[in-house]
Amino acid sequence: MRARTRGRVRTYVTIVAASVIVGVAYAIFVSYGFQPLRTAVIVGGIGGGLIGSTIGGLDIFYFRSRRGRRVAQAPFLVSVLVKGLLYGLVIAIVVVGQVPSRLVSVYDPASFLARNDVRGVVFSVVITIAFLFVLEISQLVGGRNLRHLVMGRYHTPRVEDRFFLFVDVRGSTGIAERLGAPGVHAFLNRVFTLAADPVADTRGEIHQYVGDEMVVTWPVSVGRVSARPLACFFGIEAALDAAAAEFHRDFGLAPRVRASLHAGEVVTGEVGATKREIVFHGDVMNTASRLEHLAGELDHRVVASADAVKRLDGTDRYSLKEIGQCRVRGREQAIEVYAVSL
C-alpha cells in the first residue's frame, strides 16, 4: 500500500473512531435518565459510526479521486453547497430514520432519542461543518503545518537539519506565451496535482509553490531513508511521463521538470500576525534555489550538493556523477555538486 493511501486510511479510521465517540457521548447526554445506558451507548456508537464512515469515506476517498475532484476543485461555494447537501442527506437518513435503533431492534417511536431527532440533526450538522472546516484548512496549509500551528511546535524558533528539493517546470516562459495566463495556470495545477502523490509516498512536506516551482522538504531523519528526496523527484517524473498523452491532448505539450537538492541546518519558526506561516530561514534555502538555476545552466535533470548526498542512505540505485566544485551566486565558497540520474 502506498504511503499516501496509508495516510488516507489512517485519517479515515481516526474520523470513524472520533465519530463513534462523539455519537456515544451525545446519546448518553440527551437520553440520560430516559433510556438505559447500554442502549444509548449502542445506538449512539452505531449512529456516529454510520455518519462518520459515510461522510469520511466520501470526503477522503471519493472527492479526492479523479472523478470527485471536479467537485472538490469547483468554486468554494459550489463545493461546500454540493457537499453540504450530500452530507445533510446522509445525516437526515441516519438520524431522522432512526437507522441505528432499527439495526439493533430497539426502535421505539416514543423514546427520547426518537422524539428529539431534530436536535440530533442539528448537532450532527454542526459537527460535520467543523470537520469540513478542519479538512479544508488542512488542504490549504498542509496537514503537518496545521498540526504544528495548533500545537505551537514552532512558536519558539528551533534549529533543524533538513533536505530541500526545488522542483522546476522547464521552459515555463515559453509555455506561458503559448498557453496564456489561464492555460498555464491549468497546466501547472495539473503538474503539481500529479506531483502530490510522489511527495506523500516519500513522506515529504510541500513547503510552498513559487510560480512554476515547488519546494519540498524533509527532516534529515525522515528523508535520508532510501534516499527519499531523490525517489520523490524521479517519482514525479514518472507520474508526469504516465500522463504525457493527456497533457498533449489538453495543452499540446507535456511537462518536463528539473530539480536541485541541498541539505543543512535551518531555523524553523512561525512568522506573521494577521497571517501566520511556518518558514525556514538560512543559507540552505538560498543555495538550493541557486543550485536549481545551475541545473538549468548545465542541462541536468537533477543536481545534488555533497552536503545532501552524504546525508542520504540507499543511493546505490542512482548514478551519481561528480560535477566538481561549482560557484553559485550569493556564496563566496564553491560547493561540491553531483548530477543524479537513474
Residue 175: count of CB within 10 angstroms of its CB: 20
Confidence band for 279, pLDDT divided at 50, 70 and 90: confident
pLDDT tens sequence across 287-310: 998 898 888 888 899 999 999 999
Residue 136 has pLDDT above 70, yes or no: no
pLDDT tens sequence across 29-40: 877 656 788 888
Confidence band for 188, pLDDT divided at 50, 70 and 90: very high
Q: Average pLDDT of the chain?
A: 84
Confidence band for 2, pLDDT divided at 50, 70 and 90: low
Residues 6+ apart with CB under 8 A from 36: none
Residue 338 has pLDDT above 90, yes or no: yes
What letter would DSSP give residue 110? Answer: T
- Distance CA(73)–CA(328), nearest Å, equals 39
Confidence band for 282, pLDDT divided at 50, 70 and 90: confident
Residue 317 has pLDDT above 70, yes or no: yes
Confidence band for 27, pLDDT divided at 50, 70 and 90: confident
Q: Which residue has the cell 495548533?
A: 150
Question: In this predicted structure, what is the pLDDT of residue 54?
Answer: 92
Domain extents for the chain? 3-141, 152-341
Alpha-carbon 278 to chain mean position: 16
Q: Are 36 and 106 in contact (CB under 8 A)?
A: no
Question: In this predicted structure, what is the pLDDT of residue 3?
Answer: 59
What letter would DSSP give residue 109? Answer: T
Query: Span 321-332, mean pLDDT?
Result: 79
Query: Span 313-342, mean pLDDT?
Result: 86
Max avg pLDDT among 145-154, 211-220, 321-330: 211-220
Confidence band for 271, pLDDT divided at 50, 70 and 90: confident
Residues 6+ apart with CB under 8 A from 258: 167, 168, 170, 292, 295, 296, 300, 301, 302
Question: In this predicted structure, what is the pLDDT of residue 15?
Answer: 87
Query: Span 213-234, mean pLDDT?
Result: 95
User: Per CATH, is 152-341 categorized as 3.30.70.1230?
Assistant: yes
Confidence band for 76, pLDDT divided at 50, 70 and 90: low
Residue 192 has pLDDT above 60, yes or no: yes
- Distance CA(88)–CA(78), nearest Å, equals 15
Q: Are 317 and 273 in contact (CB under 8 A)?
A: no
